[in-house]
């Protein structure tokens, strides 16, 4: 079994139920994508050749939960703890290597937001650089799947979906709704069962 870690996302300001749902949905999407890319990159060509008849034949980001459920070893992302209020936090439990990639993706967004506040560039130049950084961040994550065998059209769809996820987190970080992202192993003295 994979090492289990906890990704802690620190929250600030009021969060609506819809925003919480979107937060969990975006984190789940990122986790599923990394699980599929890390667990199955070497076997993905075989999966593509033996594509299940009940799944559309073209790869779409919306297929990730189905593919992860069928083919991945690391399972799904679980919510371990959420403290509502401001400041609040949520602990997400999952495979350490997968959560590390999710943390890197989110940290890159945080770094970019902080850098943007410090820069004194013209608005158009800034937007072009930010878009290039978003694409680079998405391509870095997609780079985990060199052997997956996605065609250019499929890669573009995954990158477009990653940019949507990036936009959500950038807005939450810029608005100080997410204030910190940490990855740590679970507390061995904790009574929580993280292996279930």
pLDDT of residue 22: 92
Question: How far is 166 from 150, CA to CA, in rounded Å?
Answer: 21
In eight-state DSSP terms, residue 195 is -
pLDDT per position as a tens digit, 162-188: 888 889 998 988 888 888 888 887 655
- Nearest in space to 89 (alpha carbons), one of 170, 15, 190: 15
Q: Which of 62-66, 77-81, 137-141 has the highest mean pLDDT?
A: 77-81
Torsion of CA 71, 137, 110, 117, to 10 degrees: -160
In DSSP terms, 9 is beta-bridged to 90, 181
Prediction pTM value: 0.66
Q: Which residue would you say has higher pLDDT here, 128 or 145?
A: 128
In the chain, domain spans: 4-184
Question: How far is 11 from 91, CA to CA, in rounded Å?
Answer: 11
CA–CA distances in Å: residue 73 to residues 2, 58, 70, 76, 174: 8, 23, 9, 9, 35
- Nearest in space to 58 (alpha carbons), one of 149, 162, 163: 149
């Amino acid at each position: 079994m994979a090492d289990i870690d906890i990704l802690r996302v620190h929250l600030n300001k009021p969060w609506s139920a819809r925003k919480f749902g979107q937060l969990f949905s975006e984190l789940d999407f990122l986790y599923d994508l990394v699980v599929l890319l890390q667990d199955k990159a070497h076997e993905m060509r075989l999966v593509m050749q033996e594509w299940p008849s009940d799944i559309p034949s073209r790869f779409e980001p919306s297929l990730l939960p189905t593919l992860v459920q069928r083919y991945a070893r690391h399972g799904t992302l679980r919510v371990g703890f959420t403290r509502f209020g401001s400041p609040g936090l949520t602990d997400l439990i999952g495979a350490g290597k997968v959560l590390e990639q999710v943390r890197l993706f989110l940290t890159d967004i945080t770094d970019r937001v902080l850098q943007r506040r410090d820069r004194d560039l013209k608005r158009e130049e800034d937007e072009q650089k930010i878009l290039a950084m978003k694409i680079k961040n998405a391509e870095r994550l997609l780079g985990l799947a060199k052997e997956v065998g996605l065609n250019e059209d499929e890669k573009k769809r995954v990158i477009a979906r990653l940019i949507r996820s990036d936009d959500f987190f950038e807005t939450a970080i810029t608005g100080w709704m997410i204030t910190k992202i940490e990855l740590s192993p679970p507390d061995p003295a904790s009574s929580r069962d993280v292996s279930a």
